Structure 1
Amino acid sequence: MSKAASSLYVTQPSISKAVQELEAELGITILDRKNKGVVFTKDGTELLFYS
């Protein structure tokens, strides 16, 4: 998340909030958040493929 935020010149919390809002809007979980980082869920991978 930090690398994505840095690449987009925004803060990490704003990226996290945007992803959470998208998850709520779509009714799916896009990212599986873990202590060592985040990974795409099955639904997240499918969304990435179609976007």
Structure 2
Amino acid sequence: MREATLSAPEADDLDPEDAKLVVLARAARSRTGASEGAAVRDTDGRTYT
């Protein structure tokens, strides 16, 4: 069976608000030196990294 691979989304291919989340997650990852990063937005529009 062939294993599925996931690729990182390019910010150019996303909705502008989603692209902001990608940028924030990458910045958090870079800032902390972690192998992964995350950013989320709540229902009020606040963003957390």
Query: Fold match, TM over 0.5?
Result: no
More helix by share: 1
Q: TM-score, normalised by structure 1?
A: 0.38
Q: TM-score, normalised by structure 2?
A: 0.39
- If you compute each CA radius of gyration, which structure gives the higher value, 1 or 2? 2
More strand by share: 1
